[in-house]
Structure formats: C-alpha cells, structure tokens
A and B are shown apart, each in its own frame.
Chain A
Amino acid sequence: MRLLLVEDDPDLSQDIARRLTQAGYAVDCAYDGVSAYDLGSVEPYDAVVLDLGLPRRPGLEVLKAWRADGRRMAVLILTARDAWHEKVDGFKAGADDYLGKPFHIEELLARLDALIRRAHGSAGGVPLNTGGLRLDEARQRAELPDGRAVELTGTEFRLLRYFMLHSGRVLSKDRLTEHVYAFDADKDSNVLEVYVNRLRHKLGRGVIETRRGQGYVFTGVIDDRPSA
C-alpha cells in the first residue's frame, strides 16, 4: 500500500512515517501544501494522511483540488483543528475520515486499514482472508489454512496485502511497483519478480498466476505444499 503523509512538523512526520512503514506501508512524505498537491496528483497513492494547517497551501484546498481533478484516493485528515464545523467542512471537501490530534498511532493504523479496505470493497476490522489464506496485519505474517504461520518481510507483506485486496484481478508489474514501493525507492520491475517468486515459494506456486504480457493474478489457491 502506498501512502502519502502530509505533515508540516518534521519530528512528527518522521515519527508517523516510521510507524507507518513498520506497519507495512510504503510512505512518501510531503511537508507543505504545494508539494503535497503535486505528489498526490501524479503518484497512485492508496491513501493520504493530510494535515490541514500546512504552509504554502491549506490542506483543505489541496483536498478540494484533488477531488476536482478526479483523484479518488482515500484521504484521512489528521489535524489539530477538530471543531465540528471543521470536520463538516473537511468531509464536504472530500475527506473519507477525520482524526484529531493528539492521537495514538494504533488508532491511525486502524482507521487507515479500514479506509483502504473500504476503498477495495471489503469490511474493515476482519482479517483479510482469501481462499483460506489469512493475513495477520498486526504481526505482518500470513496464516495458511492448516494454521501454520509464515513470516513475511516488509516488502513481501505489502505486496501480499495488495494482492489480497485485489484478489482475482490482473495487476500489471508497473501498478504493483507503484503501490508497493515508496517514491524514492528503487523501482526495478525485476526486483518485483523476485518478491513475487518469494511469495510463491512461501505460500505455494498456484497462489499467484502469471499472465504473460499482462501481469499477475492472485488466486489464493494453496495447491501444493510450499517448502518451509
């Protein structure tokens, strides 16, 4: 999941970015309204965490501009301005959720998770479960139908979550790369192949099918026993 964090306080931004990365998100940071708008207009983010009191361009204006441009990514407003009229105006501008400062990172994570699941049409709060394969997001590991847990690295976890949220759909390498890596990460599609193969190795060959010239499809079928 790729995520844009817009927060002008560098300390706080660094803290939140670290925790979001730990939770398996590929995080880009913007520190003012203008660069936030530019990044959000170009990069295919799954979600944006947006502060309202931003230098150069107010957060609410950035959000309105994105929506006017037809950008539909989930936006969570994270702000100290949490009077009810501000919340109303925030939702009117196109926000999907609103969280007041100060907050616990767990709450932010829970809400982001719910937002992203909602955007993909699945209910939040329940672990992702496809064809008997469960994703334990808190511990960043997968559980096989026989109850065996499989540990995942950060990138593997992000990739698997994206696959599971788009189960049964053809996903191009470019799209996967864009949603799994942060903006400044090395985006070599060969590296993506390596991670797809690692997931197949851990979960079973049939779990991800290759469509030549198109990309990959997540089937969730655990056909043969993967080597431990």
Chain B
Amino acid sequence: MTGQAPSLRRRLTLGVGALVATLTALGLALGGIGLRQALEGVLLERLQHDLDAVIAATTVAGGTLRLHEDQLVPVYAKVYSGHYFRVSEGSDVLRSRSLWDADLPVPELAAGERWQGGAQGPARQPLLILAQGVRRGERTLVVAVAEDVSSIDRWQWRLLAGSVLFGLLVLAAILVAQSVLVRHALRPLNQVSAQLRRLQQGELAVLPTAGVPAEVLPLVERLNAALELLVARLERSRKALGNLAHALKTPLTVLTQLGDELAAPQRARLEQQVRAMHATVERELKRARLAGAATPGQRFDLRADLAALADTLARIYHGKALRIDIDAAPDASFAGDREDFLELMGVLLDNACKWARARVAVRVALADGLLVSVEDDGPGASAEQMATLTARGQRLDESTPGAGLGLSIAADIVEQYGASMNFERAALGGLRVVLRLPAL
C-alpha cells in the first residue's frame, strides 16, 4: 500500500483517548463544583448554628453591646483559630479575640437581613462569612461569624489529584482493552489476508466463507466473485487467443505450401514475409497468453510436469539420443501459472537440447523462491554472446523477431514474474541459464 492511511488501531486509540480525557475533565469539573457546593452547604449550616449561638450570647445593656463570652466555645478566644465573630451596632464593634487585629468586612444589614460572602482573613486564611441583622429592642445589630475554609480547598485539590490519577488509570485500562479488542476484531481480516496468500500460491481455489463475521463476509464474497471473473477472463482470453492462433496460422501454412511451388526468387520473398508474420503472431499471442503473477495460481506438480517436459523434448530430439537429467527439490513448487512455467522451461530446455551434444541438466532448488538452472554440454557461448543474450532478455523491444523468438518469450515471462535470468558457462561445458524466481 502506498500513501498509507493511519492504521485503524491508531485512529481508535486517538479517538477513545480524546473521548476519555474530555469526559474525565468534564466529570472532574462538574464533580468539583458539586462537591464544593455540598461542603459549603454543610459549612453554612454549621456557621448558622455558630451565628445563632453568638446572637444568643449578645445583649444590649444600657446602650452598650455586651457579649457573654462564657456562653461561647473557647475557640473564639484562640488567636487565628479559624473561627471568628464580629458584632456591630453602628460604630460600636465587638470582635472575637481570635481575630486579633483583623476585622471582617461585613456590610450594614437591616434587621432580619442575611448576607454571606468570602474574604481573606488573618494569616491569609480564606474565610466564609455569614452575617445577619438582628433586632434587640430599639436597636439593630449586625452579627457575623466566619470560618476558615482552607480545608475545603485542600480537600478539593486532593480530590482533583485523585480523580486525575484515576482518570489516567481508566484511560490506560481502556486503551489496553481496546487494543486487545481491535486485534481480536481485526483477526478475520488478517485471516482473509493469509487465505489470499494461500490462494495466490494455489493452495486454495476460493476464499472460505465459513466462520467469517457478517461485517467481513461481503468483502470475502466480492473478492471471490472478482477472482472467479479473473480466472474466467483468463480462460476466455486464452481460448480466444488459441483460436486466433489457429485461424492465423492455417492460412500462413497454406501460403508456405504455395511458396514451395514458386520459383526461387519469389519463393524467398514470400517465405520472408510469411516468416515475419509468423514471428509476430507467435510472439504477440504468446505474450498475450501469459497469466503473470497477478493471477491466482493453481498448484501443479512441478516435478511431474518437468519430467513430462523432459520426455516431450526427448521425443522431439529423438534422433539425438540426449540424456536429460532433472534434479528438482522434492518440495519445489511454483506459485504461478502452470502454462507460463512450462512455456518458460520449454523454451530453455528446447534451446539446451538444440545445442547439446549428449547431455542436458536441469536443477531446481529452493532459495527464497526457486533457483532454476538449465545447462548443456554444447559449444556454449562467448562472453560477448552471453552479454548479448542477457541484453536481449532485458531489452525486449530491441530483439529482432524470428531469431531467438523463444528466448524473448522466456524473457517476457521472467519479467512478468519479477524474476531474473542470467547466462553463464556450464560445468558440462556449454551454456548455463540461471533463473531466480521470487516467492510470491
């Protein structure tokens, strides 16, 4: 695949991660606000009791405010204890001892009016203040109590830290679980991919649909339909090409026979034209017939077919009494098309038989694909000739039709399969052709 899109797993990880992070943050914000409100509610209730106690302890006697401190808890006497009160009537102000020099910012209130607010208290304590206007006879007092709420803030921060830690743990757990799930959910796809490879190597004819999840089934079915179409198309086009070859070669044969009856100069000219036409027909049709590596292979018995090919050549070269040795690894197999393979080997073996004096040796070994060599004990080729052969194998367009037609078809097949073909001096003395066919 080129221009790779981000993997499904990565996309899911990012998506789920963002979602969990957002939800955690939102939960923390809402929870934090709610908790603070709840704590403040509890605190306010307590402050109300404190306020009631301070109100109860306050009297106005002879125009002066008086506080019966003995009715109050000792915490108001301890400096900066976090619990404070303030009672005022105009400029007449009573403050708890705990406030020391500090004051509480409390507005003037009418009788029965309540006020609540926050302020920075002594020793930088954050304070929650509750105040109320109280009627005592003719006069209106403002009574306020305050409490240090730094403990709430501390609690809130502690809660936030705990929640963030918890959120991170949840996120990690979700990501791990999701990774496992994704791997599990994608297993059918990996399975299909493995089956496609087996199919390409000819071990399967169609992709199995049994046990395929409903989400993947349409994909498998469509792949199967496409494969069927591909195979049918190859078969059809090969059949059509076979018919075309037949239809073209029969008139060429008639022309050849006619040419045999002509006088020498005309005969030579006709023969030249017929030969050129034949070479073109042969080359183009054979090239068009190639299945190539893209088509699903149908496994064939490589050793049996090679033996049959050797037998065929022994019969064709009957007059020569050749010995054709085949040494193929027992588990050697070609993950391509049988016809392509036989055409390639046929061309090379035919060439070897043509030049051989008495022996042709074929070796097929496994080496990350197949390593095939065909050698003969014929006259061989010079270094320049081998270079020419290799060049012809590589630059097809410059090869002349007719001469070396088989070799140029072999080169076509080699190219189709991403293989390589090299020419060397054979141990037997003649030419050695080495093919490297990559595993598909």
Contacts and interface: CB of A to CB of B under 8 A. Distances in A.
Of the candidates B255, B312, B342, the one having the most CB atoms from chain A within 10 angstroms of its own CB is B312
B249 A84 contact: no
A134 interface: no
A105 B260 CA distance: 8
B10 interface: no
A103 B259 CA distance: 11
A124 B321 CA distance: 13
A53 B246 contact: yes
B190 interface: no
Contacts of A80: 245-246, 248-250, 253
Interface stretch (A86-94, A162-170, A183-191): A86-94
Interface in B219-256: 242-243, 245-246, 248-250, 252-256
A15 interface: yes
B256 A104 contact: yes
B318 interface: yes
A12 B100 CA distance: 132
B255 A83 contact: no
B103 interface: no
A103 B257 CA distance: 8
A96 B315 CA distance: 7
B289 interface: yes
B318 A12 contact: no
A217 B97 CA distance: 156
Nearest to A16: B257
A64 interface: no
A101 interface: yes
Interface string B306-344: 001101100110110000000000000000001100110
A70 interface: no
B346 A103 contact: no
A102 B256 CA distance: 7
A103 B275 CA distance: 10
Interface residues of B, number: 36
A104 B261 CA distance: 11
Contact of B253 (A85, A92, A102): A102
B315 A15 contact: no
Contacts, number: 90
Contact of A101 (B242, B249, B286, B316): B249
A77 to B, nearest CB: 11
Contact of B245 (A11, A81, A92, A114): A81
B278 interface: yes
Given A53-B243, A81-B242, A114-B319, A87 B312 contact: yes
A19 interface: yes
Nearest to B247: A80
A213 interface: no
Nearest to A125: B319
A7 to B, nearest CB: 9
Contacts of B343: 83-85
Contacts of B256: 102-104
Contacts of A104: 256, 260
Interface in B248-284: 248-250, 252-258, 260, 274, 278
Contacts of A15: 254, 257-258
A9 interface: yes
Contact of B338 (A53, A85, A105): A85
B249 A102 contact: yes
A92 B274 CA distance: 31
A43 interface: no
Interface in A86-125: 87-88, 90-92, 96-98, 100-106, 114, 118, 124-125
Of the candidates A84, A88, A118, A124, the one having the most CB atoms from chain B within 10 angstroms of its own CB is A84
A23 to B, nearest CB: 13
A84 B346 contact: yes
B316 A85 contact: no
Contact of A102 (B274, B312, B339): B274
B345 interface: yes
A81 B309 contact: no
Interface string A1-45: 000000001011001100100000000000000000000000000
A78 B343 CA distance: 19
B361 to A, nearest CB: 19
B257 A105 contact: yes
A114 B274 CA distance: 27
Nearest to A99: B316
A102 B278 contact: yes
B160 to A, nearest CB: 78
A81 B239 CA distance: 11
Given A53-B246, A91-B315, A84 B342 contact: yes
A81 B282 CA distance: 10
A81 B246 contact: yes
A218 to B, nearest CB: 26
Interface string B30-72: 0000000000000000000000000000000000000000000
28 contacts: A11-B254, A12-B250, A12-B253, A12-B257, A53-B242, A53-B243, A80-B248, A81-B246, A83-B339, A84-B350, A85-B342, A87-B312, A88-B308, A88-B309, A88-B342, A88-B346, A92-B308, A97-B316, A100-B249, A101-B253, A102-B249, A102-B252, A102-B255, A102-B256, A102-B278, A103-B253, A105-B260, A125-B319
- Top 6 nearest A-B pairs by Cβ distance? A84-B346, A80-B249, A102-B253, A85-B342, A102-B252, A80-B246
